[in-house]
Copies of this chain bind each other. A is one copy, B any other.
Amino acid sequence: MNAIVGSALTRKLSAFIALSDRELEALERLHQRRRLFPAGQALVHQGQTERAAYFLAEGWVCSYKIQPDGSRQIVDFQIPGDFLGMRSVLLRTSDHSFEPVTEIVAAEVLMRDIHEMFAQTPRLGAAILWAASRDEAMVVEHLVGLGRRDTDVRMAHFLLELGARLVLVGLGTKAEYSCPLTQHHIADALGLSAVHVNRVLRRLREDGLVTLRDGKVTIKDYRGLVELAVFDPGYLDQTGPLLN
């Protein structure tokens, strides 16, 4: 059971270093204190001072900021194997909120656990640092998309990146993956209106590139979609120098 819950993170890190038994054990230890959270109820509220960080074991989460006018900007989605609120451990207050998109299973992580891990299994610590660094690179990529990619390219890039991340943790293939996001979620992530997301998806569908229906993304023409998005997955599967 533990092995199943930890598997997303294990699989992700295994793509970069071969994990020893000792490191696998340490990973499992990180997945103690698991909790179940219902969909839709915010995990950490913007401005909250309590320090909590989690590893996401199952389900999808989005991290977002609410604007004074009520509109929402989703900064990133978290899928199994990802961290939640790493920064709120460092800074006193969390600067954004987390909301489970689906029901989730998350394991609380304390400052102490992190210290322990770095002391006892430094290679594992380095691998996790690498993953955190990759997350930051994704935020930058997202920013670039919002500023300088037109909507079709933006959407194509988004769906491809999500797919690549899911493949990395064994939750999808190049051809399809299940995706619990509503068009409204996607709109809030891509900086569009929900109506326009619908139209963009229709265009991509009519061009035979990709469909999103009934919670499932089906990539009909991978090459074509990559070409449209000018998608370079380099920033997702780079080997970290710390691991040499």
Residues on A close to B: CB < 8 A? 47, 51, 65, 67-68, 71-73, 75, 87, 90-93, 95-96, 129-130, 133-134, 136-137, 139-140, 142-144, 146-149, 190-191, 230, 234-235, 238-242
Contacts and interface: CB of A to CB of B under 8 A. Distances in A.
B91 A241 contact: yes
A73 B191 contact: no
Given A87-B136, A140-B95, A73 B147 contact: yes
Q: Could you say which of A91, A147, A230 has the most chain B C-beta atoms within 10 Å of its C-beta?
A: A147
Contact of A71 (B148, B235, B239): B148
B90 A240 contact: yes
B146 A239 contact: no
A148 B191 contact: yes
Contacts of A96: 140
Contact of A144 (B67, B148, B241): B67
A68 to B, nearest CB: 5
Number of copies of this protein chain within its complex: 2
Given A90-B129, A95-B137, A139-B143, 20 more contacts: A47-B234, A51-B241, A67-B149, A71-B148, A73-B143, A87-B137, A90-B240, A90-B241, A91-B133, A91-B240, A92-B239, A92-B240, A92-B241, A93-B234, A136-B139, A139-B139, A139-B140, A142-B143, A143-B143, A143-B146
Of all A-B residue pairs in the complex, the 10 with the closest CB atoms, nearest first, are: A147-B191, A146-B146, A73-B148, A73-B147, A73-B144, A143-B143, A68-B230, A92-B241, A90-B133, A146-B147
8 contacts: A67-B148, A75-B144, A90-B129, A90-B133, A95-B137, A96-B140, A136-B139, A146-B147
